[in-house]
Structure 1
């Protein structure tokens, strides 16, 4: 099990949180997603045999959000 944290540009509305969470939750291999509105961070846990942090980052960016930094552990 791997973890990744993404720092986004500031989120502007609670709808953004739901959009990111619902999309990432449906992604193959993702076990948990938590979007922190106040800090504009996305925390994920995923099966690294099915996906990786780069794919998750691209998914977030394809939704129209800018990922400033990412950290994998």
Structure 2
């Protein structure tokens, strides 16, 4: 099950799928800058933007420790 919005916070390290990688399922690791999905959950994952300005849907939280 994909993480819900309440579980994702800026600063966390997550694995996410960028739109261009949806067909291959290739995961990218990044640090959450902001949450772009306003709903509490989404069947494809919560959409986020990373500090590197990449956008994708969260599949897994790698590190939930926020500095």
User: What's the TM-score, normalizing by structure 1?
Assistant: 0.26
User: What's the TM-score, normalizing by structure 2?
Assistant: 0.27
